[in-house]
Amino acid sequence: MHVCLSYPRLILILIPFFVLSTAGTIRAQSSARYTLVIHGGAGTITRANMKPEMEKAYLRSLEAALDQGEKMLASGRTALDVVEAVVRLLEDDSLFNAGKGAVYTHAGEHELDAAIMNGKNLMAGAVAGVKTIRNPITAARSVMEHSEHVMLSGRGAEEFAKQRGLEGVDNSYFHTESRRRALERALEAERKEAKEKQVPSAKNTAMKNDWKYGTVGAVALDQYGDLAAATSTGGMTNKKFGRIGDAPLIGSGTYADSLVAVSCTGWGEFFIRMVMAKSLADRMRFGKQTLTIAGHELINIELPRMGGDGGLIAVDRNGEPIMPFCTEGMYRGFVRKLSGAALSQRQVAIYKD
Protein backbone atom coordinates (compact mmCIF):
# COMPACT_ATOMS: atom_id res chain seq x y z
CA MET A 1 0.00 0.00 0.00
CA HIS A 2 1.14 3.46 -0.81
CA VAL A 3 0.15 6.46 1.33
CA CYS A 4 0.55 9.93 0.02
CA LEU A 5 0.44 12.83 2.48
CA SER A 6 0.57 16.52 1.89
CA TYR A 7 3.00 18.43 4.11
CA PRO A 8 0.30 20.13 6.25
CA ARG A 9 -1.40 16.79 6.68
CA LEU A 10 1.85 15.13 7.82
CA ILE A 11 2.22 17.82 10.43
CA LEU A 12 -1.33 17.27 11.65
CA ILE A 13 -0.61 13.59 12.05
CA LEU A 14 2.64 14.24 13.90
CA ILE A 15 1.17 16.75 16.36
CA PRO A 16 -0.17 14.11 18.77
CA PHE A 17 3.32 12.56 18.98
CA PHE A 18 4.80 15.92 19.84
CA VAL A 19 2.14 16.51 22.45
CA LEU A 20 2.70 13.09 23.95
CA SER A 21 6.44 13.43 24.03
CA THR A 22 6.23 16.93 25.47
CA ALA A 23 3.81 15.69 28.08
CA GLY A 24 6.32 12.94 28.80
CA THR A 25 9.02 15.53 29.31
CA ILE A 26 6.80 17.48 31.64
CA ARG A 27 6.07 14.33 33.63
CA ALA A 28 9.77 13.48 33.69
CA GLN A 29 10.53 16.99 34.85
CA SER A 30 7.86 17.07 37.46
CA SER A 31 9.08 13.80 38.94
CA ALA A 32 12.70 14.94 38.81
CA ARG A 33 14.14 16.36 41.98
CA TYR A 34 16.96 18.82 42.50
CA THR A 35 18.33 21.23 45.07
CA LEU A 36 20.53 24.29 44.85
CA VAL A 37 21.91 26.10 47.90
CA ILE A 38 23.95 29.31 47.68
CA HIS A 39 25.74 31.69 50.02
CA GLY A 40 27.27 35.11 49.65
CA GLY A 41 29.31 35.23 52.84
CA ALA A 42 28.71 35.30 56.59
CA GLY A 43 29.55 38.04 59.09
CA THR A 44 28.28 40.88 61.24
CA ILE A 45 25.27 41.46 59.04
CA THR A 46 22.42 42.96 61.06
CA ARG A 47 19.21 44.75 60.20
CA ALA A 48 20.51 47.78 62.08
CA ASN A 49 23.59 48.01 59.86
CA MET A 50 21.84 47.38 56.58
CA LYS A 51 20.37 50.12 54.41
CA PRO A 52 17.02 49.08 52.92
CA GLU A 53 18.23 49.57 49.34
CA MET A 54 21.29 47.39 50.00
CA GLU A 55 19.13 44.70 51.53
CA LYS A 56 16.95 44.75 48.43
CA ALA A 57 19.99 44.58 46.17
CA TYR A 58 21.40 41.56 48.01
CA LEU A 59 18.06 39.74 47.97
CA ARG A 60 17.69 40.50 44.27
CA SER A 61 21.15 39.09 43.53
CA LEU A 62 20.48 35.94 45.55
CA GLU A 63 17.13 35.45 43.77
CA ALA A 64 18.76 35.94 40.37
CA ALA A 65 21.39 33.32 41.19
CA LEU A 66 18.70 30.86 42.32
CA ASP A 67 16.65 31.60 39.17
CA GLN A 68 19.59 30.87 36.92
CA GLY A 69 20.57 27.72 38.79
CA GLU A 70 17.03 26.37 38.97
CA LYS A 71 16.48 26.92 35.25
CA MET A 72 19.59 24.88 34.55
CA LEU A 73 18.73 22.11 37.02
CA ALA A 74 15.15 21.86 35.70
CA SER A 75 16.43 21.54 32.15
CA GLY A 76 18.66 18.65 33.14
CA ARG A 77 22.06 20.29 33.51
CA THR A 78 24.52 18.66 35.90
CA ALA A 79 25.21 19.84 39.43
CA LEU A 80 28.77 20.61 38.31
CA ASP A 81 27.60 22.92 35.51
CA VAL A 82 25.14 24.60 37.83
CA VAL A 83 27.50 25.36 40.72
CA GLU A 84 30.06 26.78 38.30
CA ALA A 85 27.47 28.97 36.53
CA VAL A 86 25.95 30.24 39.75
CA VAL A 87 29.31 31.06 41.31
CA ARG A 88 30.31 32.86 38.09
CA LEU A 89 27.20 34.97 38.40
CA LEU A 90 28.07 35.84 42.00
CA GLU A 91 31.70 36.53 40.99
CA ASP A 92 30.45 39.00 38.36
CA ASP A 93 28.19 40.64 40.94
CA SER A 94 30.07 43.45 42.63
CA LEU A 95 28.07 43.07 45.86
CA PHE A 96 30.01 39.98 46.86
CA ASN A 97 33.66 39.46 47.84
CA ALA A 98 34.59 37.25 44.88
CA GLY A 99 35.58 38.23 41.35
CA LYS A 100 34.34 41.78 40.63
CA GLY A 101 33.96 43.38 44.04
CA ALA A 102 36.71 41.33 45.71
CA VAL A 103 38.42 42.93 48.69
CA TYR A 104 41.83 44.60 48.57
CA THR A 105 45.05 43.03 49.85
CA HIS A 106 47.52 44.97 51.98
CA ALA A 107 49.43 45.76 48.77
CA GLY A 108 46.31 47.32 47.25
CA GLU A 109 45.61 44.49 44.84
CA HIS A 110 43.05 41.71 44.48
CA GLU A 111 44.12 38.08 44.97
CA LEU A 112 41.42 35.53 44.30
CA ASP A 113 40.96 31.91 45.36
CA ALA A 114 38.41 29.36 44.13
CA ALA A 115 37.71 25.63 44.17
CA ILE A 116 35.22 23.24 42.63
CA MET A 117 34.56 19.56 43.30
CA ASN A 118 32.47 16.98 41.50
CA GLY A 119 30.93 14.53 43.97
CA LYS A 120 30.26 12.03 41.20
CA ASN A 121 33.92 11.12 40.71
CA LEU A 122 35.76 13.07 43.43
CA MET A 123 37.49 15.19 40.78
CA ALA A 124 38.51 18.60 42.03
CA GLY A 125 40.22 21.78 40.89
CA ALA A 126 41.42 24.93 42.63
CA VAL A 127 43.32 28.14 42.04
CA ALA A 128 44.92 30.32 44.71
CA GLY A 129 46.27 33.85 44.63
CA VAL A 130 45.27 34.69 41.05
CA LYS A 131 45.06 38.35 40.03
CA THR A 132 44.11 38.49 36.36
CA ILE A 133 41.50 35.77 35.77
CA ARG A 134 38.01 37.21 35.45
CA ASN A 135 36.25 34.10 36.77
CA PRO A 136 38.44 32.10 39.15
CA ILE A 137 35.78 29.38 39.49
CA THR A 138 36.02 28.65 35.78
CA ALA A 139 39.80 28.50 36.11
CA ALA A 140 39.36 26.01 38.98
CA ARG A 141 37.12 23.86 36.78
CA SER A 142 39.65 24.08 33.98
CA VAL A 143 42.41 22.90 36.33
CA MET A 144 40.18 19.94 37.24
CA GLU A 145 39.36 19.02 33.65
CA HIS A 146 42.40 20.04 31.66
CA SER A 147 45.40 19.51 33.90
CA GLU A 148 46.53 16.53 35.91
CA HIS A 149 46.71 18.72 38.98
CA VAL A 150 44.19 19.75 41.58
CA MET A 151 45.63 23.04 42.76
CA LEU A 152 47.56 25.74 40.89
CA SER A 153 48.71 29.02 42.39
CA GLY A 154 49.80 32.54 41.53
CA ARG A 155 51.32 33.39 38.18
CA GLY A 156 51.56 29.73 37.23
CA ALA A 157 47.81 29.40 37.56
CA GLU A 158 47.34 32.55 35.47
CA GLU A 159 49.64 31.19 32.78
CA PHE A 160 47.63 27.97 32.73
CA ALA A 161 44.34 29.90 32.43
CA LYS A 162 45.80 31.91 29.57
CA GLN A 163 46.87 28.76 27.76
CA ARG A 164 43.33 27.43 28.17
CA GLY A 165 41.93 30.61 26.65
CA LEU A 166 40.09 31.85 29.75
CA GLU A 167 39.14 35.50 29.95
CA GLY A 168 41.88 37.63 31.45
CA VAL A 169 41.37 41.05 32.98
CA ASP A 170 43.52 43.75 34.44
CA ASN A 171 43.62 43.56 38.22
CA SER A 172 41.78 46.90 38.34
CA TYR A 173 38.69 45.18 36.87
CA PHE A 174 37.93 43.82 40.37
CA HIS A 175 37.88 47.31 41.90
CA THR A 176 34.89 48.73 43.74
CA GLU A 177 34.88 51.95 45.74
CA SER A 178 33.44 50.33 48.86
CA ARG A 179 36.22 47.70 49.02
CA ARG A 180 38.86 50.39 48.48
CA ARG A 181 37.45 52.32 51.44
CA ALA A 182 37.41 49.12 53.51
CA LEU A 183 41.15 48.72 52.87
CA GLU A 184 41.78 52.32 53.87
CA ARG A 185 39.87 51.78 57.12
CA ALA A 186 41.82 48.58 57.78
CA LEU A 187 45.16 50.26 57.15
CA GLU A 188 44.20 53.15 59.39
CA ALA A 189 43.15 50.78 62.19
CA GLU A 190 46.39 48.88 61.75
CA ARG A 191 48.51 52.03 61.96
CA LYS A 192 46.66 53.05 65.08
CA GLU A 193 47.08 49.65 66.72
CA ALA A 194 50.76 49.45 65.77
CA LYS A 195 51.33 52.88 67.31
CA GLU A 196 49.47 52.04 70.51
CA LYS A 197 50.63 48.51 71.14
CA GLN A 198 53.81 48.07 69.13
CA VAL A 199 52.22 45.05 67.46
CA PRO A 200 54.66 43.13 65.28
CA SER A 201 53.80 43.71 61.64
CA ALA A 202 53.38 39.97 61.09
CA LYS A 203 50.17 40.10 63.09
CA ASN A 204 47.27 41.29 61.08
CA THR A 205 44.77 43.45 62.84
CA ALA A 206 42.25 43.00 60.08
CA MET A 207 41.68 39.48 61.41
CA LYS A 208 40.13 40.95 64.50
CA ASN A 209 37.15 42.37 62.76
CA ASP A 210 34.66 41.64 60.12
CA TRP A 211 36.88 42.34 57.12
CA LYS A 212 37.82 38.72 57.08
CA TYR A 213 34.47 37.55 55.78
CA GLY A 214 32.81 37.34 52.41
CA THR A 215 32.91 34.41 50.05
CA VAL A 216 30.42 33.03 47.58
CA GLY A 217 29.51 29.42 47.13
CA ALA A 218 27.01 27.01 45.66
CA VAL A 219 26.19 23.35 46.20
CA ALA A 220 23.73 21.33 44.16
CA LEU A 221 22.05 17.96 43.72
CA ASP A 222 21.02 17.36 40.12
CA GLN A 223 18.29 15.20 38.56
CA TYR A 224 20.79 12.36 38.17
CA GLY A 225 21.49 12.23 41.89
CA ASP A 226 24.97 13.74 41.58
CA LEU A 227 26.37 16.40 43.88
CA ALA A 228 28.85 19.25 43.33
CA ALA A 229 30.29 22.17 45.30
CA ALA A 230 31.98 25.44 44.33
CA THR A 231 33.46 28.30 46.37
CA SER A 232 35.12 31.56 45.32
CA THR A 233 36.55 34.43 47.34
CA GLY A 234 38.68 37.53 47.40
CA GLY A 235 39.86 36.49 50.86
CA MET A 236 40.12 39.09 53.59
CA THR A 237 40.68 42.82 53.37
CA ASN A 238 44.29 43.82 54.01
CA LYS A 239 45.58 40.23 53.73
CA LYS A 240 49.35 39.87 53.51
CA PHE A 241 52.09 37.40 52.85
CA GLY A 242 50.22 35.47 50.14
CA ARG A 243 47.72 34.18 52.70
CA ILE A 244 45.58 31.29 51.46
CA GLY A 245 42.26 30.76 53.21
CA ASP A 246 39.96 27.75 53.33
CA ALA A 247 37.95 28.43 50.15
CA PRO A 248 40.40 26.86 47.65
CA LEU A 249 41.40 23.99 49.95
CA ILE A 250 39.61 20.75 49.10
CA GLY A 251 38.17 19.32 52.32
CA SER A 252 38.32 22.64 54.18
CA GLY A 253 36.18 25.21 52.36
CA THR A 254 34.92 23.04 49.52
CA TYR A 255 34.05 19.34 49.27
CA ALA A 256 31.65 17.00 47.50
CA ASP A 257 31.25 13.25 47.36
CA SER A 258 28.36 10.84 46.78
CA LEU A 259 26.72 11.73 50.12
CA VAL A 260 27.03 15.48 50.48
CA ALA A 261 28.31 18.71 48.89
CA VAL A 262 29.63 21.53 51.10
CA SER A 263 30.78 25.14 50.68
CA CYS A 264 32.00 27.20 53.64
CA THR A 265 32.36 30.85 54.53
CA GLY A 266 33.82 32.47 57.60
CA TRP A 267 37.06 32.84 59.45
CA GLY A 268 39.08 30.64 57.10
CA GLU A 269 41.87 29.71 59.50
CA PHE A 270 39.44 27.82 61.73
CA PHE A 271 37.83 26.08 58.79
CA ILE A 272 41.27 24.86 57.70
CA ARG A 273 42.23 23.60 61.16
CA MET A 274 38.88 21.79 61.46
CA VAL A 275 39.07 20.55 57.84
CA MET A 276 35.45 21.63 57.97
CA ALA A 277 33.85 20.36 54.77
CA LYS A 278 35.37 16.89 54.98
CA SER A 279 34.49 16.70 58.68
CA LEU A 280 30.84 17.22 57.76
CA ALA A 281 31.00 14.47 55.13
CA ASP A 282 32.77 12.04 57.47
CA ARG A 283 30.36 12.63 60.34
CA MET A 284 27.63 11.51 57.96
CA ARG A 285 29.54 8.64 56.34
CA PHE A 286 31.29 7.17 59.36
CA GLY A 287 29.41 8.70 62.28
CA LYS A 288 25.98 8.06 60.71
CA GLN A 289 24.95 11.56 61.71
CA THR A 290 22.21 13.30 59.78
CA LEU A 291 23.19 16.32 57.69
CA THR A 292 21.36 18.64 60.07
CA ILE A 293 23.01 17.30 63.21
CA ALA A 294 26.47 17.20 61.65
CA GLY A 295 26.13 20.79 60.40
CA HIS A 296 24.77 22.01 63.73
CA GLU A 297 27.50 20.37 65.80
CA LEU A 298 30.30 21.67 63.60
CA ILE A 299 29.08 25.24 63.05
CA ASN A 300 27.13 25.99 66.23
CA ILE A 301 29.15 24.00 68.79
CA GLU A 302 32.69 23.07 67.65
CA LEU A 303 33.53 26.20 65.65
CA PRO A 304 32.60 28.73 68.37
CA ARG A 305 34.29 26.49 70.97
CA MET A 306 37.55 26.86 69.03
CA GLY A 307 37.08 30.62 68.84
CA GLY A 308 36.09 30.87 65.19
CA ASP A 309 32.90 31.77 63.41
CA GLY A 310 31.21 31.55 60.04
CA GLY A 311 28.80 29.25 58.30
CA LEU A 312 28.35 26.71 55.57
CA ILE A 313 25.85 25.49 53.04
CA ALA A 314 25.37 21.84 52.20
CA VAL A 315 23.04 19.48 50.41
CA ASP A 316 22.85 15.72 50.83
CA ARG A 317 21.96 13.06 48.29
CA ASN A 318 18.30 13.29 49.29
CA GLY A 319 18.28 16.95 48.35
CA GLU A 320 18.05 18.13 51.95
CA PRO A 321 19.59 21.62 52.26
CA ILE A 322 21.22 23.15 55.36
CA MET A 323 22.58 26.66 55.87
CA PRO A 324 23.91 26.83 59.47
CA PHE A 325 25.97 29.82 60.66
CA CYS A 326 27.06 31.28 63.99
CA THR A 327 27.59 34.88 62.86
CA GLU A 328 24.90 37.54 62.95
CA GLY A 329 23.98 36.99 59.35
CA MET A 330 24.74 35.06 56.20
CA TYR A 331 23.59 35.89 52.66
CA ARG A 332 21.95 32.64 51.68
CA GLY A 333 19.21 30.89 49.80
CA PHE A 334 18.05 27.60 48.43
CA VAL A 335 15.63 26.17 45.93
CA ARG A 336 14.47 22.59 46.22
CA LYS A 337 12.19 20.54 44.07
CA LEU A 338 10.91 17.31 45.50
CA SER A 339 10.28 14.29 43.35
CA GLY A 340 6.75 14.52 41.91
CA ALA A 341 6.06 18.00 43.28
CA ALA A 342 4.65 20.56 40.86
CA LEU A 343 6.42 23.51 42.44
CA SER A 344 9.76 24.02 44.10
CA GLN A 345 10.40 25.36 47.60
CA ARG A 346 12.50 28.48 47.81
CA GLN A 347 14.01 30.68 50.49
CA VAL A 348 16.38 33.63 50.54
CA ALA A 349 17.54 35.22 53.78
CA ILE A 350 20.19 37.42 55.30
CA TYR A 351 19.71 37.68 59.07
CA LYS A 352 19.57 35.12 61.83
CA ASP A 353 15.86 35.43 62.54
Number of residues binding to a second copy, judged by CB under 8 A: 53
Site string for a second copy, 154-193 (x = CB under 8 A): xxxx-xx--xx-----------------------------
Of 85 and 272, CB closest to a second copy: 272
Q: Write the CB contacts of 141 (distance below 8 Å, at least 6 apart in sequence).
A: 80, 84, 116, 125
For 22-30, the CB contacts below 8 A with 24+ separation are: 29/74, 30/340, 30/341, 30/342
Could you say whether residue 273 binds a second copy (CB under 8 A)? Answer: yes
Going by C-alpha positions, the residue among 39, 9, 340 that lies closest to residue 216 is 39
Q: Is residue 215 among the annotated active site residues?
A: yes
Could you say whether residue 108 binds a second copy (CB under 8 A)? Answer: no
Which one of 73, 102, 128, 312 is in contact with a second copy (CB under 8 A)?
128
Which one of 29, 153, 300, 318 is in contact with a second copy (CB under 8 A)?
153
Could you say whether residue 265 binds a second copy (CB under 8 A)? Answer: no
Annotated catalytic residue within 215, 254, 265, 327 = 215
Binding range to a second copy, per CB under 8 A, among 17-25, 62-70, 178-186, 202-210? 202-210
Going by C-alpha positions, the residue among 74, 88, 54 that lies closest to residue 218 is 88
Site string for a second copy, 15-54 (x = CB under 8 A): ----------------------------------------
10 dihedral zone (left: phi>0; alpha: psi -120 to 50; beta): alpha
* DSSP element (H, E) containing 71: helix 52-74
* Range 83-96 burial, b when 16+ CB lie within 10 A, else e: bbbbbbbbbebbbb
Could you say whether residue 316 binds a second copy (CB under 8 A)? Answer: no
Please give the single-letter amino acid code of residue 84: E
Could you say whether residue 131 binds a second copy (CB under 8 A)? Answer: no
* DSSP element (H, E) containing 66: helix 52-74
Binding residues (CB under 8 A) for a second copy: these are 122-124, 128-129, 146-157, 159-160, 163-164, 200-204, 207, 240-245, 249-252, 255, 268-269, 272-275, 278-279, 282-283, 285-287, 289, 306
